Amino acid sequence: MNQYLPARIHRRNCLKRLASLAVASPVVFLTACSPSTNEEKKPAKPRRIIVDADTANEIDDAFALARALMEPSWKVEGITSAQWHTQEEAPRDTVGPSQQLNEELLRAMKRLDVPHPIGSNIPLVSPVRPQPSDAARHIIRKAKETPEGEKLTVAILGPCTNLASAVLMEPQIIPRLACYYIGLRYDPKQRLWSRDEFNTNNDPNALDVLLNAPGLEFHLMTATTSGSLTFAKADVERRLKGKGGVADFLVRLWDNYDRAWQRRVAPTKATWTMWDIALIAAIARPKLAKAVTIDTPPENFKRPISVWVEIDAEGMRDDFWQTTERWLAEHR
């Protein structure tokens, strides 16, 4: 059958209607010629996402979590906590403080309905042995709930321990996952990789598990790329201080942050690199970041992954404040 026949019939009928409506108004003409349809545009499904964060490590994690929870196009299926044991002066229990801050943030945003299971306090001791945790089991459960043909986004702001453990425990979830990770360093001009990076060093075995999983969709925001996104403390205070709830929570977090490394390199805390916001913003607003497809580092299973090599730092700052101010206005 001629696939264009329905369109021809429609045009012929349209001309007949036009002839009978020669004296009608232009509005009627337009209505008569408009193809009739009962279909309406369906709203896009919200992105189902879990954000895994070493929140007590640096202040950018909490800002990134708040941004994720404010994104209207997302359904946050969980906020999970991660360890950060290699930082100078790190306590023996690092996942505990991250878990505590996650709960305080959710309470400040009145979002304790969001699942927030605790992750592993120990990195993978080998790339074949998982570190089971409530967080890993939650990822498995949500991945299994993902409809066929769709994927659960897992955004990792710290080490990969929890997602790698989930993959090792239940490899069949791999096709239903999309991993978004911030870590490693990469020079796109020299095409050189470096593993000398904080998140990577907190669990190199876990990162290898994910990079070496052929069927795992993998998106990488490197520390090289995200390092250009900074916030000024004065701007944060001007926009958030005295507004209550999560706004004052974030201000206090910046005020009270105190680490040996920070006292050496940023004693005034006047500015902060917002590494983790770069990842969340790149997922939420793809136009604010440029990604290329390249092969994994040479020591890993060779396969293509997506790597962001450039971000619009000013655009990401504007997006953060526009989203935050809109959310605060709606939740007064």
Q: What is the pLDDT of residues 176-217, one digit of tens each?
A: 999 999 999 999 999 999 999 999 999 999 999 999 999 999
**Are residue 67 and residue 31 in the same domain, yes or no?**
no
**Are residue 92 and residue 15 in the same domain, yes or no?**
no
pLDDT of residue 168: 98
Please work out, in degrees rounded to the nearest 5, the angle formed at the alpha carbon of residue 300 by the alpha carbons of 200 and 175: 90
Q: How far apart are CA 62 and CA 55, in angstroms?
A: 6
**Are residue 208 and residue 101 in the same domain, yes or no?**
yes
**Are residue 225 and residue 281 in the same domain, yes or no?**
yes
Q: How far apart are CA 200 and CA 207, in angstroms?
A: 7
Expressed as residue numbers, the domain containing 30 is 7-40
Domain count, the chain: 2
**Are the beta carbons of 169 and 136 closer than 8 angstroms?**
yes
* Residue 315 covered by a domain: yes
**Are residue 152 and residue 215 in the same domain, yes or no?**
yes
* Residue 236 covered by a domain: no
Question: Domain of 186: which CATH number?
Answer: 3.90.245.10
**Are residue 81 and residue 16 in the same domain, yes or no?**
no
* Residue 13 covered by a domain: yes
What token pair was written down for 37? Answer: 């349809």
DSSP letters along 140-182, please? HHHHHTSPTT--EEEEESS-SHHHHHHHHH-GGGGGGEEEEEE
* Residue 241 covered by a domain: no
* Residue 266 covered by a domain: yes
Q: How far apart are CA 263 and CA 258, in angstroms?
A: 7
Q: How far apart are CA 92 and CA 204, in angstroms?
A: 19
pLDDT of residue 25: 38
Q: Which positions of the chain have pLDDT values less than 50?
A: 1-40
Q: How far apart are CA 59 and CA 98, in angstroms?
A: 11
pLDDT of residue 26: 37
**Are residue 169 and residue 27 in the same domain, yes or no?**
no
